[in-house]
Structure 1
Amino acid sequence: MAPIYDCSVDSELLTGMRLARAAIGRGELVVIRTDTVYGVAADAFNAEAVQRLLDAKGRGRQSPPPVLIPGIPTLAALAEEVPPAVTDLVREFWPGGLTVVLPAQPSLVWDLGETRGTVALRMPDDTLALELLSETGPLAVSSANLTGRPAARTAAEAEAMLGDSVAVYLDGGEAGAAYERVDGKDSSSTIVDATALAAGTGGLRILRHGVISEERIRAVVGDLLVSEEPSAGAADVEDDAETLTDKQT
């Protein structure tokens, strides 16, 4: 049975973080708390590790995981182009519950699944998650649950679903407590598709409503936020209860 480390205890925090870094380096999976829900994490640049993540959740390659990053500078390194409106959004809402979908740098050597050349990026507002990201680099992170099941709000809930497919569980307490529930549902990040804006063919579109409201986004970008259906080239983010059938981080 994979160990769960209580990060409120200093000795377990140090041990858990050390083992989590080592596990990521070996291409194994780690469960971490984020500010929205618990996530299962893999090295974003290790294709076998990303496939292991998809397999653990029972998800296909048509639903690639988002990538969590340690800061805004990493955004420009992973995205081919970052429109000024996206820069304004991440300055306003990062770290926090905003995921942005952009064209990925074509030179990146990674395989997140069938992304159609895009990547969904977020900087979480969680101290331990950011500390791990600062040491591992970008992590492919999806909600720590089996596809079709509610996203885990605790490490124990994640372990009950994912079991030994994960090498290390970091217990940081209940996730999502900083956010209010949205429309009576558990909160998840708001996903904004900026691929059309980056290509000069359209505006910003909300793929999934979450903890950052449409009104707050419009207050930053104005009429660049449009209401049409998302473009076909956007990363395939599901949501069944965070990707439009599976709650993501």
Structure 2
Amino acid sequence: MGGKYATETLGSDEGGIARAAAILRDGGLVAVPTETVYGLAARADRADAAARIYEAKGRPSFNPLIVHVASLDAAREIAVFDDTAETLAVKYWPGPLTLVLPRRRDASLAPAVTAGLDTVAIRMPNHPVMRDILREIDFPLAAPSANRSGFISPTTAAHVLASLDGRIDAVIDGGACKAGVESTIVAVREGGEIEILRPGPLEIAARLSEGGIEAPGQLASHYAPGKPVRLDVTSADRDEFIIGFSEVKGDCSLSPEGDLDEAASRLYACLHLAAASKKPRIAVAPVPETGIGKAINDRLRRAATPPD
């Protein structure tokens, strides 16, 4: 895909990290691996940098961004932490948990990052490449998934380039992401009550929110492969690319052994293969609604929902 920028592919070594940090300091866009998916990183404290994320992704302005920080102290400069939030952060950070908390009034954030909300979505990632970059800079990073808005999330540098080549400054090739699905998002309400806004790799005992858009990944149609998707299929039609699981064989299998962690790590890779195939439709085998299977099924249901 052509575009305004010559997208560099950087290594995950010291030189690649230094080059990525320099691009980010100047307000540029760099796709960076995390333990969940590749994120499209830019300065969260500059309006022009945040605007470039929305432009590159074609992202709707009402959809907020997740802010990535290097430490809990850095997070406290952006959000208000009550006892519940502190407990969750200490227990799960660094890791695939995003907290939606009241935004500090003096937080140095571009308005677009929070999409006009009084809350901010924030997390401390646990991937060595992203952590190395955050240690190199002195500002937080906004980093939604590094793909065109609404489409399949990327778990490799090749996935990023398939969607954003020529639209961003650089991508760091750090190999395939381990978790394979985006972070669990939890909102901490007044009084310490918590709600799940988006299921993810971490299971947290809380009710699922039925409210409006407060965080990424809540749109009804999302993660779309650009073809009709049929779920809970044990026998595919001839014109369907089947994504298998366990005893259901497929053109691509999430996990022949029925391992849900492996299924999560392979979910987007299989969807990318299905999207690129010559078959016009996609079928997906049943996946148990347990553990990380809840997050897998959440993504599949959104992928199967036609856009408005």
Instruction: Normalising by structure 1, report the TM-score.
Output: 0.80
Runs of 4+ residues deviating >6 angstroms = 242-246
1:190 match: 184
Identity of matched residues, %: 31
Matched, 1:5 2:6: no
Q: Distance in 1 between matches of 2:14 and 2:164?
A: 23
- 3-state SS of 1:146 partner: coil
CA positional deviation for 1:42: 0.3
Q: 2:214 aligns with which of 218, 232, 235?
A: 235
2:118 match: 117
Q: Distance in 2 between matches of 1:235 and 1:69?
A: 19
Matched, 1:66 2:66: yes
> CA offsets per residue over residues 2-29 of structure 1, 9 Å max, x none?
121232xxxxx23221211111111110
Gaps of 5+ in 1: 8-12, 180-185, 219-224
The amino acid of 2:216's aligned partner reads: V
1:182 match: none
2:134 match: 133
Q: Distance in 2 between matches of 1:152 and 1:209?
A: 18
8 Å contact from structure 1 (residues 115, 235) kept in 2: no
Alignment of 1:52-91 (within 5 A): 52-79=52-79, 81-91=80-90
The amino acid of 1:114's aligned partner reads: A
Q: Distance in 2 between matches of 1:190 and 1:16?
A: 29
Bigger Cα Rg: 2
- 3-state SS of 2:165 partner: helix
1:183 match: none
Q: Distance in 1 between matches of 2:14 and 2:106?
A: 35
> What is the alpha-carbon root mean square deviation over aligned residues?
2.2
Q: Distance in 1 between matches of 2:19 and 2:209?
A: 45
- 3-state SS of 1:78 partner: coil
CA positional deviation for 1:236: 3.7
Q: Distance in 1 between matches of 2:30 and 2:40?
A: 6
Shift of the 173–27 alpha-carbon distance from structure 1 to 2, 3 Å rule, reads same
CA positional deviation for 1:113: 4.8
1:208 match: 198
Q: Distance in 2 between matches of 1:119 and 1:75?
A: 10
Q: Distance in 1 between matches of 2:63 and 2:153?
A: 16
